[in-house]
Amino acid sequence: MKLFDASALLCLLRGEHGGDVVERELEGGGSCSAVNWSEVAQKVLGHGKDWQLARGLLLSYGLRIESVTRADAEIAAYAWRPGSGLSLADRLALATADRLDASVWTADQAWGSAGRVRQVR
């Protein structure tokens, strides 16, 4: 199973380096946490782009949106470290990936590449 964070999905939508990796990995389907989905929507809308078009493209790959559970929220809170570079959305993506036993795809270098983390570029 694969879970995509906002930075990976935005990489695809913006046609950035690594977007081809995201597209290839999405072809078999995947998931995104509801928090990261909201972040993608906010970034698309904030740049004056068509969210319905972006939404349709992402969902055309069979992307599923995963609810965040109470346990995910608590794990994300415990994972907070000053100066770690991981936002709340990042930590929720990691917690959701753990719950789903999924690899987590990101374009955010602050995540590193250990464990479940897969860098798209």
**Could you report the per-residue pLDDT of 18-57, keeping only the tens digit for each?**
999 999 999 989 999 999 999 999 999 999 999 999 999 9
pLDDT of residue 51: 98
The pLDDT of residue 28 = 84
Q: Give the 3-state DSSP-derived string for 15-64, with helices as H, strands as E and coil as C.
A: CCCCHHHHHHHHCCCEEEEHHHHHHHHHHHHHCCCCHHHHHHHHHHCCEE
Write the pLDDT tens digit of every residue in 57-113: 999 999 999 999 999 999 999 999 998 889 999 999 999 999 999 999 999 998 989
What tokens appear for 40 in the block? 């993608």
pLDDT score for 84: 83
What was the pLDDT predicted at 66? Answer: 97
Q: What is the pLDDT of residue 80?
A: 94
Indicate if the pLDDT at residue 1 is higher than 90: yes
Quick: pLDDT tens for 72-85: 999 999 999 998 88
- Please name every residue paired with 63 in a beta bridge, in sequence order, or none if there are none: 30
Per-residue model confidence (pLDDT) at position 52: 98
